[in-house]
Amino acid sequence: MAVADDEGLDAVSIRRIAGELQARPMSLYSHIGGKDDLLDLMHDAAVEETLVGDVPADWREALRMLARYNRAAALRHPWLLATRDTGCPVGPASLKRLDESAAAVRGLDADGAVRRALVLAVDTFTFGHVQAQLSGGIRRRAADEVNAARRKVTTEYVQTRIEAGELPHLAGTGVSELLYDDDPEASFELGLDWLLAGAAASLS
Protein backbone atom coordinates (compact mmCIF):
# COMPACT_ATOMS: atom_id res chain seq x y z
CA MET A 1 0.00 0.00 0.00
CA ALA A 2 2.85 2.37 0.79
CA VAL A 3 4.28 1.91 -2.71
CA ALA A 4 0.91 2.71 -4.30
CA ASP A 5 0.40 5.69 -1.97
CA ASP A 6 3.74 7.19 -2.96
CA GLU A 7 4.07 6.16 -6.61
CA GLY A 8 0.67 5.00 -7.85
CA LEU A 9 -0.69 1.61 -8.88
CA ASP A 10 1.61 1.33 -11.91
CA ALA A 11 4.54 0.98 -9.53
CA VAL A 12 2.98 -2.03 -7.81
CA SER A 13 4.24 -5.41 -8.98
CA ILE A 14 5.07 -8.75 -7.43
CA ARG A 15 8.76 -8.12 -8.06
CA ARG A 16 8.62 -4.64 -6.48
CA ILE A 17 6.76 -5.83 -3.38
CA ALA A 18 9.12 -8.78 -3.02
CA GLY A 19 12.01 -6.34 -3.09
CA GLU A 20 10.39 -4.19 -0.42
CA LEU A 21 9.99 -7.31 1.74
CA GLN A 22 13.49 -8.51 0.92
CA ALA A 23 12.02 -11.73 -0.41
CA ARG A 24 12.19 -13.65 -3.69
CA PRO A 25 9.31 -12.93 -6.09
CA MET A 26 8.51 -16.63 -6.43
CA SER A 27 8.02 -16.87 -2.68
CA LEU A 28 5.05 -14.49 -2.94
CA TYR A 29 3.35 -16.65 -5.54
CA SER A 30 2.83 -19.31 -2.90
CA HIS A 31 0.48 -16.82 -1.19
CA ILE A 32 -1.07 -14.84 -4.07
CA GLY A 33 -1.76 -15.69 -7.69
CA GLY A 34 -0.49 -12.47 -9.26
CA LYS A 35 -0.86 -8.70 -9.39
CA ASP A 36 -4.65 -8.81 -9.60
CA ASP A 37 -4.80 -10.76 -6.34
CA LEU A 38 -2.35 -8.32 -4.79
CA LEU A 39 -4.52 -5.36 -5.80
CA ASP A 40 -7.59 -7.11 -4.37
CA LEU A 41 -5.80 -7.52 -1.03
CA MET A 42 -4.71 -3.89 -1.08
CA HIS A 43 -8.23 -2.77 -1.89
CA ASP A 44 -9.73 -4.72 0.98
CA ALA A 45 -7.09 -3.39 3.37
CA ALA A 46 -7.94 0.18 2.35
CA VAL A 47 -11.67 -0.50 2.67
CA GLU A 48 -11.05 -1.69 6.22
CA GLU A 49 -10.10 1.90 7.05
CA THR A 50 -13.61 3.01 6.04
CA LEU A 51 -15.38 0.84 8.61
CA VAL A 52 -17.08 2.94 11.28
CA GLY A 53 -17.88 0.10 13.68
CA ASP A 54 -20.90 1.63 15.38
CA VAL A 55 -23.33 2.88 12.72
CA PRO A 56 -25.65 5.68 13.97
CA ALA A 57 -29.36 4.88 14.04
CA ASP A 58 -30.33 8.06 12.16
CA TRP A 59 -29.84 7.38 8.45
CA ARG A 60 -28.62 10.89 7.67
CA GLU A 61 -25.97 10.82 10.37
CA ALA A 62 -25.05 7.27 9.40
CA LEU A 63 -24.56 8.13 5.72
CA ARG A 64 -22.66 11.27 6.68
CA MET A 65 -20.29 9.25 8.86
CA LEU A 66 -19.74 6.62 6.18
CA ALA A 67 -19.07 9.35 3.62
CA ARG A 68 -16.49 11.01 5.85
CA TYR A 69 -14.70 7.72 6.45
CA ASN A 70 -14.73 6.98 2.72
CA ARG A 71 -13.34 10.41 1.92
CA ALA A 72 -10.56 10.14 4.49
CA ALA A 73 -9.47 6.72 3.23
CA ALA A 74 -9.51 7.82 -0.41
CA LEU A 75 -7.42 10.90 0.37
CA ARG A 76 -4.88 8.69 2.16
CA HIS A 77 -4.92 6.13 -0.66
CA PRO A 78 -5.82 7.89 -3.94
CA TRP A 79 -5.52 4.60 -5.85
CA LEU A 80 -8.67 3.45 -4.02
CA LEU A 81 -10.60 5.48 -6.60
CA ALA A 82 -9.40 2.99 -9.23
CA THR A 83 -9.56 -0.25 -7.28
CA ARG A 84 -13.10 0.39 -6.02
CA ASP A 85 -14.26 -0.32 -9.58
CA THR A 86 -12.08 -3.40 -10.07
CA GLY A 87 -11.35 -4.71 -6.58
CA CYS A 88 -12.87 -7.93 -5.29
CA PRO A 89 -16.25 -7.00 -3.73
CA VAL A 90 -16.32 -10.02 -1.41
CA GLY A 91 -13.20 -9.44 0.66
CA PRO A 92 -13.78 -9.48 4.44
CA ALA A 93 -13.64 -5.70 4.85
CA SER A 94 -15.61 -5.06 1.65
CA LEU A 95 -18.43 -7.30 2.85
CA LYS A 96 -18.41 -5.61 6.25
CA ARG A 97 -18.56 -2.20 4.55
CA LEU A 98 -21.53 -3.38 2.51
CA ASP A 99 -23.21 -4.50 5.72
CA GLU A 100 -22.57 -1.09 7.31
CA SER A 101 -24.12 0.61 4.28
CA ALA A 102 -27.20 -1.55 4.71
CA ALA A 103 -27.27 -0.71 8.41
CA ALA A 104 -27.07 3.02 7.61
CA VAL A 105 -30.37 2.99 5.72
CA ARG A 106 -32.17 0.30 7.70
CA GLY A 107 -34.44 2.91 9.32
CA LEU A 108 -35.68 4.31 6.01
CA ASP A 109 -39.29 3.68 5.11
CA ALA A 110 -38.39 2.74 1.55
CA ASP A 111 -37.86 -0.36 -0.54
CA GLY A 112 -34.49 -1.96 -1.22
CA ALA A 113 -33.99 -0.26 -4.58
CA VAL A 114 -34.43 3.21 -3.06
CA ARG A 115 -32.09 2.41 -0.19
CA ARG A 116 -29.45 1.16 -2.57
CA ALA A 117 -29.85 4.23 -4.79
CA LEU A 118 -29.35 6.53 -1.82
CA VAL A 119 -26.19 4.75 -0.70
CA LEU A 120 -24.91 4.86 -4.28
CA ALA A 121 -25.68 8.58 -4.58
CA VAL A 122 -23.70 9.39 -1.42
CA ASP A 123 -20.78 7.18 -2.48
CA THR A 124 -20.74 8.69 -5.97
CA PHE A 125 -20.72 12.22 -4.59
CA THR A 126 -18.02 11.37 -2.05
CA PHE A 127 -15.57 9.71 -4.41
CA GLY A 128 -16.29 12.21 -7.17
CA HIS A 129 -15.48 15.06 -4.80
CA VAL A 130 -12.24 13.34 -3.76
CA GLN A 131 -11.29 12.91 -7.43
CA ALA A 132 -11.89 16.61 -8.07
CA GLN A 133 -9.90 17.57 -4.97
CA LEU A 134 -6.95 15.38 -5.88
CA SER A 135 -6.91 16.62 -9.47
CA GLY A 136 -7.07 20.23 -8.35
CA GLY A 137 -4.33 19.68 -5.82
CA ILE A 138 -2.05 18.23 -8.48
CA ARG A 139 -2.68 21.20 -10.77
CA ARG A 140 -1.99 23.69 -7.99
CA ARG A 141 1.25 21.99 -6.96
CA ALA A 142 2.39 21.84 -10.57
CA ALA A 143 1.57 25.51 -11.00
CA ASP A 144 3.51 26.42 -7.89
CA GLU A 145 6.55 24.54 -9.12
CA VAL A 146 6.44 25.95 -12.65
CA ASN A 147 5.14 29.46 -12.03
CA ALA A 148 4.00 30.78 -8.65
CA ALA A 149 2.04 33.57 -10.39
CA ARG A 150 -0.04 31.27 -12.60
CA ARG A 151 -3.14 31.46 -10.43
CA LYS A 152 -3.03 35.24 -10.39
CA VAL A 153 -2.55 35.43 -14.15
CA THR A 154 -5.37 32.96 -14.81
CA THR A 155 -7.77 34.82 -12.54
CA GLU A 156 -6.94 38.17 -14.11
CA TYR A 157 -7.37 36.73 -17.62
CA VAL A 158 -10.85 35.42 -16.84
CA GLN A 159 -11.72 38.77 -15.24
CA THR A 160 -10.77 40.62 -18.44
CA ARG A 161 -13.08 38.34 -20.44
CA ILE A 162 -15.88 39.12 -17.98
CA GLU A 163 -15.26 42.86 -18.23
CA ALA A 164 -15.31 42.56 -22.02
CA GLY A 165 -18.84 41.21 -21.77
CA GLU A 166 -17.94 37.76 -23.08
CA LEU A 167 -18.99 35.93 -19.92
CA PRO A 168 -22.06 37.81 -18.67
CA HIS A 169 -23.23 35.14 -16.25
CA LEU A 170 -19.91 35.19 -14.40
CA ALA A 171 -20.12 38.93 -13.76
CA GLY A 172 -20.30 39.68 -10.07
CA THR A 173 -19.04 36.27 -9.03
CA GLY A 174 -15.79 35.51 -7.27
CA VAL A 175 -13.61 34.37 -10.17
CA SER A 176 -10.89 32.90 -8.00
CA GLU A 177 -13.44 31.02 -5.91
CA LEU A 178 -14.99 29.55 -9.06
CA LEU A 179 -11.65 28.42 -10.45
CA TYR A 180 -10.06 27.17 -7.24
CA ASP A 181 -11.43 25.34 -4.22
CA ASP A 182 -9.34 26.52 -1.28
CA ASP A 183 -11.43 24.67 1.30
CA PRO A 184 -12.38 21.27 -0.15
CA GLU A 185 -13.52 19.93 3.22
CA ALA A 186 -16.05 22.75 3.57
CA SER A 187 -17.35 22.29 0.02
CA PHE A 188 -17.62 18.54 0.64
CA GLU A 189 -19.66 19.05 3.79
CA LEU A 190 -21.90 21.61 2.09
CA GLY A 191 -22.54 19.34 -0.87
CA LEU A 192 -23.25 16.42 1.44
CA ASP A 193 -25.71 18.60 3.38
CA TRP A 194 -27.56 19.41 0.17
CA LEU A 195 -27.61 15.79 -0.96
CA LEU A 196 -28.96 14.46 2.33
CA ALA A 197 -31.48 17.29 2.67
CA GLY A 198 -32.73 16.63 -0.85
CA ALA A 199 -33.04 12.93 -0.14
CA ALA A 200 -34.93 13.62 3.09
CA ALA A 201 -37.35 15.95 1.28
CA SER A 202 -37.91 13.41 -1.48
CA LEU A 203 -38.56 10.59 0.97
CA SER A 204 -40.86 12.56 3.29
pLDDT 10s digits, 99-142: 999 999 998 989 999 999 999 999 999 999 999 888 876 555 55
The answer to whether the Cα torsion of 104, 84, 122, 47 is positive or negative is: positive
Other C-beta atoms within 10 Å of 67: how many? 25
Q: Is the pTM of this model over 0.85?
A: no
List C-alpha distances in Å: 109 to 9, 72, 75, 91.
41, 29, 33, 30
- How many domains does the chain contain in total? 1
Q: What is the pLDDT of residues 138-160, one digit of tens each?
A: 555 555 555 557 777 888 888 88
pLDDT-wise least confident of 48-57, 106-115, 162-171: 162-171
> What residue numbers bound the domain in which 136 lies?
2-203
**Which CATH number belongs to the domain containing residue 67 in this structure?**
1.10.357.10
